[in-house]
Structure 1
Amino acid sequence: MKNWNQLFVRHGWLIEDKGENTFDCSKETDVNLTFLMECLNKAKVDYRYIAPLKELTIFTEITEEEWLKILNFNHRGRGGHLWFRPGQDQPKVRELDTFICGIVRQLNRLGFYTTGSCDGHERRPAHLILTDKCQIETLVEILHTLGQKQVSWRENRNGSYHLRLPFKRKQLLYLAEQLSSVEEEWVEEGYDFIKEKLFQQQLEQLLSIPGESGNEEPIRKHVLEKLSPFVDFITVDQAGNILAEKTYKGGYGPTILLNAHLDTVYEIEKDREIIKEGNLWSSSKGILGADDRAGVAVLLHVAEFLHFTNSFRGKVKFIFTVEEECGLVGASKVHDYFLWGTDAAIVVDRRGTGDIVTSCGGYIPFCNVSYGEFFEKLAEEAELNGWATTIGGSSDTRIWAEHGIQSVNLSAGYNHEHTEREVLDVASCYETAKLVKAVLGKGNELKRVLRDIRRGKQVEEVTGTLL
């Protein structure tokens, strides 16, 4: 269920979340706040608004479907009094179409001023009209960064721009939520910068959610919500692990397992701060929690990337395990049927940078040598320096290898895990995400590598039988 911060963003209000369902409304107009109070009253939501402070506190939860019943009234967005001066006046939420309202507000916040909009009313594609001063190519690049490749635009005779959004109406709400994560000062920095910053935002959010071993419900709930839009199937098994699947391009390719664990070894301190010194993040007290929230961030990033691109053909299985820190408890309880047909696994739960772990201690192999070398090769091709195969310790990787799955464990960028000295190199963590995307982007090559490994095993078995 969407929280109130998401509902406000998705439906067009510029209100800052202060935590615990309390919101700073100082950046919102009185007209839009009046409409908000009307909607809250109609929905019979229990709330408190302190006008002098412009502070709103909500005491009642509501589903988005219930909220839409209040917001999506007849003839909304049609008729008079829709005029405002772009760049000077704030659009009025009441007068905008329900499903595009959030996008309009976010674009105006970022300096892409609109003069018209329509959510399509389920009869035609949604569209926006932007002023002649709009940097349309920059806007389209941002939308591409967010994975929205289907957008198109044209210049009108009067110099304004027509932006076409061929999405279902619910996807328009999601786009508004995506745009809310983009900060104004990022706009001129380009695709790569924005993509990395969005990754860091999600990572920071994950590092702020509790979930020590055996008490993973808060982080599990968060990951379920974030992952659900990008997969075909998702469930929680009896052990508490999240299991999900997504088929890409008909599934005619390898089946790859992506894995990270949800739990932290100790609880994250509630009142701690994340200290940022360049790319190095640490905690003001207690553990940082990057083991393995960094891995979780990588997998969520990859899931979104695969959803919005055509870079992979095959099937991806996602497993977010519980109680890994207690001895691989969650992974050991994943039912065999979910692992059937899996060709290879990529785990993101290794300390440091640049490690491609192919065995536990050098005596329990996780994969064939050629599988690890494939990662080295693609890292070099992607100009991701310093990646090399190595031996490592125990992790969920060992469980997948025991099932006969070719498996590696990749560095997630953290060091000194399980201690107050834990530190995370966020740039290295993002490089891990790049490597995983590079591997999946070479699905045909990966398929050949895995096929050759299987054939080699078959030859060994036949030879052994003859001898």
Structure 2
Amino acid sequence: MKELLKKLVSVFGPSGNEELIRESIINEIEGFADEIRTDVMGNLIAVKKGTGSKIMLAAHMDQIGLVVTFVDENGFLRFAPAGGFSVTDLINRKVIFKNGTVGVVSYESEIKEIKDITLNNLYIDIGAKDKDDALSRVNIGDAAVYYTPFAENGTRCTSCAMDNRASCALLIETLKNIQTCPHEVYFVFTVQEELGLRGATTAAYAIEPYAAIAVDVTDTGDTPKSLPMAVKLGAGPAVKVFDQSVMVHPAIKNLMKEKAEKYNIPYQMEVLKAGGTDSGAIALSKSGVPTGCLSIPCRYIHSDSEMVDISDMENGAKLLLNILQDGIKIDK
């Protein structure tokens, strides 16, 4: 799991530009799915065929990015955020473009207090001599992502793009290890989640699943003076109750808890006050889909140094496997 995660977080894949990460995932799952296809939105759909009801598992493969909007005469790049960024997380961070060009995000020097900086005061410095030099390396509309190395300390791993490559790794491991299952299972690696759950919206509409589980990262409450939250690293995957996109279907929530307890898998309960996941879009598809969400605890979300615990991912994969192999029956 750790080596797979290390590989996935290094692949370029901001929202709307998921081609490289999609190909990387395809290379991992070839031979393990009965069917692999890409839909018109760019979602990657891997199917384990069966005669039972359709179950959809979703993990978004896009990451937050910065899109170039303007290049000034001195070669500095202005940008728009593609996803949720905070100013403090961006200052003096390295970013990389698809072609390998590396830059540093900084801010206008006339701003004296960090609290006064807005996204409009930031720029990307790619070391260009002037506008023409900059435009020989990047173009208007090109996207960049955080550029940080993968690091590990025991089971704790830090990198950019843990949101949501950690969940992609979890789904890949589930697909590779599933044996018998009374369902037809759709493993969907979605696009443009960071721009509003767009890929999950169209994928769920087309698949029409009987039930669904999204997998994503979630915040923790285990750092000094953090906002109180009953989720911490290393205590197991979290069973979502509620976030700003979804009130989880009680049957799916209870099923996840019951299976965790049956198979002695550690788990936590998650109530997220802000943010959302693909589960929100899937739950509202067509006439509605009973939908749950399995969350991987993650510190420093949407920064260049997101931190997860591999044991939470491994236990999450165990939980999904047991849920699928035992079968899902919903009393709607």
Range class of TM-score, shorter chain: 0.5 to 0.7
**Residue in structure 2 matched with residue 398 of structure 1 by the alignment:** 280
Provide the secondary structure at the position in 2 that maps to 1:230: coil
Provide the secondary structure at the position in 1 that maps to 2:37: strand
With over 3 angstroms needed to count, the CA separation of the structure-2 counterparts of 1:354 and 1:334, relative to structure 1, is closer
Find the aligned partners of 2:308 and 2:268 in 1 and give their Cα distance. 17
Residues 390-445 of structure 1 show CA distances to partners (whole Å, capped at 9, x for unaligned) of: 456321101110021111111123221111342111111111111111211211xx
Structure 1 residue 274 corresponds to structure 2 residue 150: yes
- Conserved 8 A contact 1:257-1:318: yes
With over 3 angstroms needed to count, the CA separation of the structure-2 counterparts of 1:364 and 1:434, relative to structure 1, is closer
Structure 1 residue 374 corresponds to structure 2 residue 261: no
Structure 1 residue 387 corresponds to structure 2 residue 271: no
**Residue in structure 2 matched with residue 359 of structure 1 by the alignment:** 242
Residues 142-174 of structure 1 show CA distances to partners (whole Å, capped at 9, x for unaligned) of: xxxxxxxxxxxxxxxxxxxxxxxxxxxxxxxxx
Find the aligned partners of 1:371 and 1:329 in 2 and give their Cα distance. 23
The alpha-carbon deviation at position 275 of structure 1 amounts to 1.5
Find the aligned partners of 2:158 and 2:271 in 1 and give their Cα distance. 26
Aligned pairs for 1:293-372 within 5 A: 293-306=165-178, 309-310=179-180, 312-334=181-203, 336=205, 338-340=206-208, 342-351=209-218, 352=220, 353-361=236-244, 364-367=246-249, 369-372=250-253
Provide the secondary structure at the position in 1 that maps to 2:292: strand
**Residue in structure 1 matched with residue 318 of structure 2 by the alignment:** 434
Unaligned runs of at least 5 residues, structure 2: 67-94, 101-146, 221-235
With over 3 angstroms needed to count, the CA separation of the structure-2 counterparts of 1:223 and 1:405, relative to structure 1, is same
The alpha-carbon deviation at position 257 of structure 1 amounts to 0.5
The alpha-carbon deviation at position 377 of structure 1 amounts to 1.1
Provide the secondary structure at the position in 1 that maps to 2:64: coil
Provide the secondary structure at the position in 2 that maps to 1:240: coil
**Residue in structure 1 matched with residue 135 of structure 2 by the alignment:** none
With over 3 angstroms needed to count, the CA separation of the structure-2 counterparts of 1:389 and 1:372, relative to structure 1, is farther
**Residue in structure 2 matched with residue 254 of structure 1 by the alignment:** 53
Provide the secondary structure at the position in 2 that maps to 1:437: helix
Find the aligned partners of 1:258 and 1:243 in 2 and give their Cα distance. 10
The count of corresponding residues between Structure 1 and Structure 2 is 236
The alpha-carbon deviation at position 335 of structure 1 amounts to 6.7
Structure 1 residue identity aligned to 2:268: W
The alpha-carbon deviation at position 317 of structure 1 amounts to 0.8
User: Rg: which structure is higher?
Assistant: 1
Find the aligned partners of 1:376 and 1:348 in 2 and give their Cα distance. 15
Find the aligned partners of 2:204 and 2:214 in 1 and give their Cα distance. 18
**Residue in structure 2 matched with residue 410 of structure 1 by the alignment:** 294
Out of 292, 309, 329, the residue aligned to residue 425 of structure 1 is 309
Structure 2 residue identity aligned to 1:274: F
Provide the secondary structure at the position in 2 that maps to 1:380: helix
**Residue in structure 2 matched with residue 244 of structure 1 by the alignment:** 46
- Conserved 8 A contact 2:239-2:267: no
With over 3 angstroms needed to count, the CA separation of the structure-2 counterparts of 1:320 and 1:386, relative to structure 1, is closer
Provide the secondary structure at the position in 2 that maps to 1:349: strand
With over 3 angstroms needed to count, the CA separation of the structure-2 counterparts of 1:414 and 1:391, relative to structure 1, is closer
Find the aligned partners of 1:303 and 1:377 in 2 and give their Cα distance. 22
Structure 1 residue identity aligned to 2:326: K
Provide the secondary structure at the position in 1 that maps to 2:4: helix
Find the aligned partners of 1:318 and 1:232 in 2 and give their Cα distance. 11
The alpha-carbon deviation at position 325 of structure 1 amounts to 0.7
Structure 1 residue identity aligned to 2:280: R
Task: Give the fraction of aligned pairs with identical amino acids, expressed as a percent.
Answer: 28
Find the aligned partners of 1:437 and 1:407 in 2 and give their Cα distance. 17
- Conserved 8 A contact 1:413-1:426: no
Higher helix share: 1
The 4+ residue runs of structure 1 with deviation greater than 4 A are: 267-271
Aligned pairs for 1:148-163 within 5 A: none
Compute the RMSD of aligned alpha carbons: 2.2
The alpha-carbon deviation at position 364 of structure 1 amounts to 4.3
- Conserved 8 A contact 1:376-1:389: no
**Residue in structure 2 matched with residue 265 of structure 1 by the alignment:** 64
Moved more, 391-400 or 430-439: 391-400
Provide the secondary structure at the position in 1 that maps to 2:49: strand
Higher strand share: 2
Structure 2 residue identity aligned to 1:399: A
Find the aligned partners of 1:301 and 1:205 in 2 and give their Cα distance. 14
The alpha-carbon deviation at position 339 of structure 1 amounts to 2.1
- Conserved 8 A contact 1:373-1:389: no
Structure 1 residue 203 corresponds to structure 2 residue 79: no
- Conserved 8 A contact 1:291-1:349: yes
Higher relative contact order (CA 8 A, sep 6+): 2
